Amino acid sequence: MIGAGIKRGTAELAVLSVLQKGPLHGYELARRIEQQTNGALRFTLAALYPMLYRMEQQRWIRGTWETSANGRKRRCYRLTPAGKKKLSPLEREWAELFRALQRLTKAAHA
């Protein structure tokens, strides 16, 4: 299980990565992240929406109301050009951190 501090740091990366594949509404976004991380990252409503609103203010994502096939109105989030630009350095930064930690762990076990 991944600790809370790391989860907070990776949350934005998770949202941006999932939205890169296409627009999603909040519930579906949380479900996809949980599925794709085998339950390691799980967002409750209370954790998800303040973060989505903050990311929207930073113009990394944009939310628009859309009506689904069954007539339900939902707010769908999509990645903005600024969000796409933010994603690659964020991915690099985290990949670098994980590689560094792996090296550290290997060195500790050697």
Partner 1 sequence: MPDWQELVRQRLAGLELAAAEKEEVHAELAAHLEETYEASVKEGVNEQAAVQRALLQVSNWQDLRQKIQTARTRENIMNDRVRQLWLPGFVTFLLSTSLLALFEVFGAKPPVLVKVGQLPAVLLFIPWLLSLPIIGALGAYLSHRAGGSSRAVFSSIVFPVLPFLFSILLILPVSLIFGRFIAHSPAPLSLLMALLGWVLAPGGALLAGGLATQFVLSRRLDSRRIAGS
In the complex, least distance from residue 20 CB atom to partner 1, rounded to whole angstroms = 20
55's CB contacts (< 8 A; 6+ apart) are 12, 15, 16, 61, 83
For the bound state, the minimum distance from the C-beta of residue 56 to partner 1, rounded and expressed in Å, comes to: 8
Task: Using the minimum distance from each CB to partner 1, give the nearer residue, 28 or 36.
Answer: 28
Name the residue nearer to partner 1 (CB basis): 20 or 105. Answer: 105
CA of 98: how far to CAs of 8, 79, 104, 109, in Å?
A: 15, 25, 10, 16
Between β-strands 24-25 and 73-79, what pairing exists: parallel, antiparallel or unpaired? Answer: antiparallel
Q: How far is the CB of 88 from partner 1 (least distance, A)?
A: 13
Question: Could you list the residues that contact partner 1 (CB under 8 A)?
Answer: 5-6, 25-27, 30, 44-46, 48-51, 53-54, 57-59, 65, 72-75, 97, 101
